[in-house]
């Protein structure tokens, strides 16, 4: 079974993290939520508390097939200042696993130089944080192993894009049909 990790920090965008987790789990991907805050209870940007599956320091990332960064402010800023997370992303990028980032989350990948010369999208006005990227206006953009997304309105498309890569088109189509997502 494929394994995805979604990273949570105080002020994360709830619909982006939980919607993505829901879609992936419906498609048979094992999803673990990871708190970078030092406690499992993480407060979202809209004051919805979420209990993460693991603390960062407790998680085993050896079997990771995807690392996913939700947006939200200040959540994305917290992710962007987490040295351990950025080291993990660089390590796993060398293994060519899937890196997903939505809304303001692509700032982390941009700051690490992983978007240089790649098409990418993000929440409007955050384009300068995608250092070296070729910004697009697409709701979801995939370039190689990196999938980026503009924001919460595209969470279904983002989750299904991740599911296509982690599983296949047929499973993603079945999940889309079950969710009444129209293409």
User: Residue 183: its pLDDT value, please?
Assistant: 64
- Looking at every residue in the chain, the average pLDDT score rounds to 97
HSE of 86, CA atoms in CB hemisphere, 13 A: 18
How does pLDDT run across 96-119, given as a tens digit for each residue?
Answer: 999 999 999 999 999 999 999 999
Q: Quick one: tokens of 46?
A: 């809209």
> Could you write out the DSSP letters of every residue in 47-88?
S-EEE-SEEGGG---TT-SEEEE---TTHHHHHHT-HHHHHH
Q: How far is CA 176 from the centre of its chain?
A: 19
Q: Quick one: tokens of 85?
A: 């997370």
Q: Quick one: tokens of 44?
A: 């979202």
pLDDT band at 41 (very low <50, low <70, confident <90, very high): very high
Range 8-35 average pLDDT: 98
How does pLDDT run across 119-153, given as a tens digit for each residue?
Answer: 999 999 999 999 999 999 999 999 999 999 999 99
User: Residue 140: its pLDDT value, please?
Assistant: 98
Q: Quick one: tokens of 75?
A: 């959540």
Q: Is the pTM of this model over 0.75?
A: yes
User: With pLDDT > 90 as the criterion, what percentage of the chain qualifies?
Assistant: 99
């Amino acid at each position: 079974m494929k394994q995805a990790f979604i990273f949570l920090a105080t002020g994360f965008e709830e619909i982006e993290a939980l919607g993505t987790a829901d879609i992936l789990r419906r498609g048979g991907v094992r999803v673990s939520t990871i708190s970078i805050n030092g406690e499992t209870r993480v407060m979202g940007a809209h004051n919805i508390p979420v209990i993460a599956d693991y603390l960062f320091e407790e998680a085993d990332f050896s079997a990771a097939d995807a690392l996913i960064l939700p947006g939200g402010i200040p959540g994305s800023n917290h992710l962007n200042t987490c040295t351990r997370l950025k080291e993990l992303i660089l390590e796993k990028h060398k293994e060519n696993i899937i890196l997903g980032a939505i809304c303001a989350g692509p700032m982390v990948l941009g700051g690490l130089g992983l978007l240089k010369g790649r098409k990418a999208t993000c929440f409007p006005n955050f384009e300068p944080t995608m250092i070296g990227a070729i910004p697009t206006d697409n709701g979801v953009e995939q370039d190689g192993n990196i999938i980026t997304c503009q924001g919460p309105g595209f969470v279904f498309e983002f989750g299904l894009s991740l599911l296509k890569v982690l599983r296949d088109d047929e499973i993603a189509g079945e999940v889309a049909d079950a969710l009444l997502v129209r293409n």
